[in-house]
Amino acid sequence: MHKIVLYTTRRGNSPVDEFLDGLDAKARAKVDTFIEFLAREGHRLQRPYTDTLRGKIRGLRIPHRTNQYRVLYFFQKDSIVLLCGFAKKTQEIPRREIERAEYYMQDFIKQSESGEITP
């Protein structure tokens, strides 16, 4: 079982928490179930549940009713760092979401290297 870590900005905001807080109870439960599945399976989890988007950034694919949700994450040692989440409304993942996840990943790495956080 991998440890799930939520990326938190230096101001104490968690983009994944903010995403989850915006979901209704059933959608939230479904996303939580998929995150638990990711924690159990880790690197073994493949398509259709996850995709590599760019570099280390991966996307957890969560279908719910007519919606598609994504939680972007990366592996850091024995942890899975959840970076951000969004409702997917187009065929492709928006580039700005991947860029946002890359920025969060770099910030997380800087925070962990400087000892501000412990993954």
Query: Going by C-beta distance under 8 Å and a sequence separation of 6 or more, which residues neighbour residue 29?
Result: none
**Which CATH superfamily includes the segment(s) 3-113?**
RelE-like (3.30.2310.20)
- Is the pLDDT at 2 greater than 70, yes or no? yes
Residue range 15-29, pLDDT digits in tens: 999 999 999 999 999
**59-87 per-position pLDDT tens digit:** 999 999 889 999 999 999 889 999 999 99
User: What is the distance between the alpha carbons of residues 86 and 84, in angstroms, rounded to a whole number?
Assistant: 7
Choose among 78, 79, 81: nearest CA to 102.
Answer: 81
Burial class (CB in 10 A: 0-12, 13-18, 19+), 119: middle
Burial 6-40 (b: 16+ CB within 10 A, else e): bbbeeeeebbbeebbeebeeebeebbeebbeebee
Please report the pLDDT score of residue 73 as a whole number.
98
pLDDT at 116 over 80: no
